[in-house]
Structure 1
Amino acid sequence: MVVIDAQTLLTQPQALLAHVQAALARRGGPPPRELPAGVRRAAVLLVLVHVRGEAALLLTKRSHLVEHHKGQISLPGGVVEPGESPLDAALRETSEEIGVRAQDVTILGPLDEEETVVSGFMLTPFVGSIPYPYPLRASPAEVHRVLEVPLRTLLDPRNLRTELWDHEGVSRIIYFYTVGADVVWGATARIITQFLRRVFPAAIPPDGDLPARRRE
């Protein structure tokens, strides 16, 4: 078997997508967890593209008109409506938010669920790819702008900062990715970290080895 290093994969779109699909298939998504009281099910999509010669992830800067997480960097997605699956919801919301049609998305696999700490959602993440360039159309009501974030940027340890936060008696690692003038954190950063660890196992050390200072 030929092993290709991460930095080389980032410039080879077909090899990268095959690698991502194989990495996600090795583990598969776990069955959905029982929802705690007051928690709603939602889904998000990590959209991989090849732009300016390398792999990137599409993120959105949320508008100040949305109910939750105003102005934050997020993944396209939203609440799972009655009668639809989490994947259906992720594709529908991605279409509504940034104009990517479901039929143009190649789904590569699921990630583990992540629960938001404040807003009360259980998120099911999916990873997919689209042909690029693509005629994206950001919904002004939900999305201020769309960001093309190179995976190289997210894999650079200089762009990752971690803190230890206490919430309701539980300490947890909080990830912060610096992306240009923006910072990605919260559930979005946790999902990105999970993705990077699954696809590039040596990219990010285990939480116990990360230099996390405790928040004052």
Structure 2
Amino acid sequence: MAPRYPARRADLAIDGRACRDAGILVLLLPHQDLPAVVLTVRREHLPDHAGQVSFPGGQREGEEELRTTALRESEEEIDLDPSSVRLLGPLTPLYIPPSDFCVHPFVGAAHSDPDLHPADAEVGRVLRVPVSDLLDPDTRETESRHLHDTDVEVPYYAVAGHTVWGATAMMLAELLEVVSSAISPTD
């Protein structure tokens, strides 16, 4: 789900980068047969990634563990009680060039469906997107965008009336690969 801009693919690795570290939470909630994923819609006034769909999370404070960052930021952004989440493991870290962040995603599961709501000035809306919707091939689309002085084919998920692209789409794609492997193991 990375934009089809070959020169940028190598830019996504965090190895050797002197970047700002961020921890984010890929939160799974109970929902019918497959879980739902929590996403946030960022407010339009923000200097970085305004109006975009993202996962809850943010910048590391001091030397805290990145998994702690993901839980702390999720509590600050969507009022999630960290003790209600069981961390399952990390996904692949990504470098985000526009904001100079090295993002470290952690998958977590909540045993019940918590009352989540925007709890700070960054989050405009909380979305619960069923994994089954994300696995539907009809939700994956591509559009041309003008990025870095060139037209680039950008894949995205069209879900809940929103366009989910960039790093969030790449992390979702990795999560969905893991989920697909778990529900349809190969022999």
Percent identity, please: 36
Larger radius of gyration: 1
Distance 1:110 1:104, change over 3 A: same
Q: Quick check: 1:48–1:57 contact (8 Å CA) kept in 2?
A: yes
Q: 1:15 maps to which residue? A: none
Once residues 41 and 116 of structure 1 are traced to their aligned partners in structure 2, the CA distance between those partners, rounded to angstroms, is 10
Please state how far the C-alpha of 1:54 moved relative to its aligned partner.
4.1
Partner of 1:138: 118
Distance 1:166 1:67, change over 3 A: closer
Q: Give the structure 2 partner of residue 59 of structure 1.
A: 39
Asked if residue 199 in structure 1 is aligned to residue 183 in structure 2, the reply is no
Q: Is 1:150 matched up with 2:130? A: yes
Are 1:84 and 2:73 matched, yes or no?
no
Structure 2 unmatched ranges of 5 or more = 1-13
2:141 to 148, 161, 165: 161
Matches within 5 A, 1:10-49: 33-36=15-18, 39-49=19-29
Give the alignment's Cα RMSD to 1 decimal: 2.7
Q: 1:185 corresponds to which residue?
A: 165
Which residue number in structure 2 is paired with residue 23 of structure 1?
A: none
TM superposition outliers: structure 1 runs of 4+ over 6 Å: 164-169
Q: How far off its partner does 1:68 sit?
A: 1.1
**SS of residue matched to 2:141:** strand
**Pair 1:125-2:144 in alignment:** no
Query: Could you say if the C-alpha distance between residues 161 and 201 of structure 1 is closer, same or farther in structure 2, counting changes exceeding 3 Å?
Result: farther
CA shift digits 1:50-104 (9 cap, x unpaired) = 1356410010011124331111111000011112111111010000000111111
SS in 2 for 1:51: coil
Q: Which residue of 1 aligns with 2:89?
A: 109
Query: How big is the shift at 1:140?
Result: 4.2
Give unmatched runs, 5+ long, in structure 1. 1-31, 204-216
**DSSP-derived class of the 2:112 partner:** coil
Contact between 1:162 and 1:173, CA under 8 Å: does it hold in 2?
Answer: yes
Quick one: distance in 1 between partners of 2:89 and 2:118?
24
CA positional deviation for 1:160: 0.5
User: Which residue is equivalent to 1:16?
Assistant: none
Aligned to 1:7: none
Residue 161 of structure 1: how far off its partner (Å): 1.8
Task: Give aligned pairs, total.
Answer: 170
- CA deviation after TM superposition for structure 1 residue 201, in Å: 4.2
TM-score, with normalisation over the residues of structure 1? 0.70
1:7-42 deviation digits (Å, cap 9, x = unpaired): xxxxxxxxxxxxxxxxxxxxxxxxx73324xx2111
The structure with higher relative contact order (CA 8 Å, sep 6+) is 2
Take 1:174 and 1:76, find their aligned partners in 2: how far apart are those partners? 22
